[in-house]
Amino acid sequence: MVSDLAFYLAARGWEVGAITSRQRYDDPNARLPKHEIVRGVAVRRVWSTSFGRHFLPGRAIDYATFYLSAMFAMMNQRRATIVAMTDPPMLSAFAALASRRVVNWLQDLFPEVATAVGMRVPRFVWRVRDWSLRRARRNVVIGESMQAPRRVVIHNWADASLRPVEVPHENFIVGYSGNLGRVHDVDTMLGAMNRLRGDDVELVITGGGAKLGEVRAANLPNVRLEPYAPRERLAESLSAADAHLVTLLPAAEGLVVPSKFYGILAVGRPVIYVGGRDGELARLVRDNDCGIAVESGDADGLANAIRALASDRERARAMGRRGRALYEQRFAPEIAFAAWEKVLGG
């Protein structure tokens, strides 16, 4: 998302810089250049420790050292508008200390999302977060039900190159693409696949995340794991499924919107949404008939939804076509980019 927006703005004549880490998301030992110009964007990669994402105390140290390095880098850009992300969490506070010209891009609401998955967050963290949001010029949220002061809703999008691709296969394939993290409902998904053992249905999980270990431990014969698909193969990877799962724990409704939803619409595949009955994505799926919404915990309902689409491929394809139309109407990149230019130029 950040790359898409930065490259778009640079191509439109904006002066754009990026302050980021020298690590890669999937490789803490990577050592990327400190300075680089990428498609017109001046990238500055600041120092941090490199323990990686899988060792929680080390991850906290990585965050702390990145916060300090990034804050000093932002302090040297006082005339610029700073767009602060939410990974790592609480970056908004360090941005607020560094600049009065901050726009927070809230991909999720922390610490609410941490509380939703059972973590205890000290009260002062909430106070500091609230102060940083009140101090910002704008807070861009990605969902209609996400709340913040000075809120502007700009939905996420998918890669502009994503289009439906024909990928021949025999079984009915259900895809799950991207992160399978702490806010996602893995239990309902695995329960449904356990009930579908005798059907010609396969679940292909392409990606990673904190709950992938639970999938491996279940050891279901109709579940296959694949690594993250490179961007240039994403259209083919997403199109290889007949339908896609999007899951979200009900406690996380209104705190995060799974970005995988937009890529599924873009390749014209139906969405099987597992989450709160009245959640934002559940309503979008029902109102636009671009898939099936199943309540979290209803493994039988999910299995039946998959069976229904597997037995009526034309219905599934029609849902996918309606999803693609919805994407073009409301969630295409150019819609979000125009909204961002308005926010940053205001």
- What is the C-alpha to C-alpha distance for residues 43 and 36, in angstroms, rounded to an integer? 5
Cis bond leading into 227, ω under 30°?
A: no
Q: pLDDT tens for residues 78-137?
A: 899 999 999 889 999 999 999 999 999 999 999 999 999 999 999 999 999 999 999 999
Q: pLDDT tens for residues 207-242?
A: 999 999 999 999 999 999 999 999 999 999 999 999
Helix (H) / strand (E) containing 38: strand 35-38
Query: Under a CB-based contact definition with an 8 Å cutoff, are residues 214 and 184 in contact?
Result: no
pLDDT at residue 181, as a whole number: 94
DSSP state for residue 242 in the 8-state scheme:
S
3 state SS of 24? strand
What is the total residue count of the chain? 346
pLDDT at residue 141, as a whole number: 98
- What is the C-alpha to C-alpha distance for residues 22 and 34, in angstroms, rounded to an integer? 7
User: Hunting for tokens 């880098």 — which residue is that?
Assistant: 73
Residue 53 above 90 pLDDT? no
**Could you please report the per-residue DSSP string of 174-190?**
EEEEEE--TTS-HHHHH
Q: Of 170, 177, 112, 101, nearest to 145 (Cα)?
A: 112
Helix (H) / strand (E) containing 275: strand 271-275
Measure the N-to-C terminal CA separation of the chain; round to a whole number of Å: 21
pLDDT grade for 52, boundaries at 50, 70 and 90: confident
Q: pLDDT tens for residues 102-111?
A: 999 999 999 9
- The whole-number average pLDDT for the span 172-191 is 97
- What is the C-alpha to C-alpha distance for residues 13 and 23, in angstroms, rounded to an integer? 28
Query: Under a CB-based contact definition with an 8 Å cutoff, are residues 308 and 289 in contact?
Result: no
Q: Quick one: tokens of 303?
A: 């299995």
CA distances from 149 to 113, 125, 126, 133 (A): 17, 17, 14, 7
Helices and strands (H, E) in the chain, number of each type? 13, 13
Residue 30 above 90 pLDDT? no
pLDDT averaged over the chain? 96
3 state SS of 155? coil
pLDDT grade for 51, boundaries at 50, 70 and 90: confident
Q: pLDDT tens for residues 244-287?
A: 999 999 999 999 999 999 999 999 999 999 999 999 999 999 99
pLDDT at residue 209, as a whole number: 92
Residues 106, 110, 115, 119: what is their CA dihedral angle, to the nearest 10 degrees? 130
pLDDT at residue 29, as a whole number: 78
pLDDT at residue 156, as a whole number: 97
pLDDT at residue 28, as a whole number: 72
Partners of residue 41 on adjacent β-strands: 38
Give residue 112's Cα distance to chain centre. Answer: 17
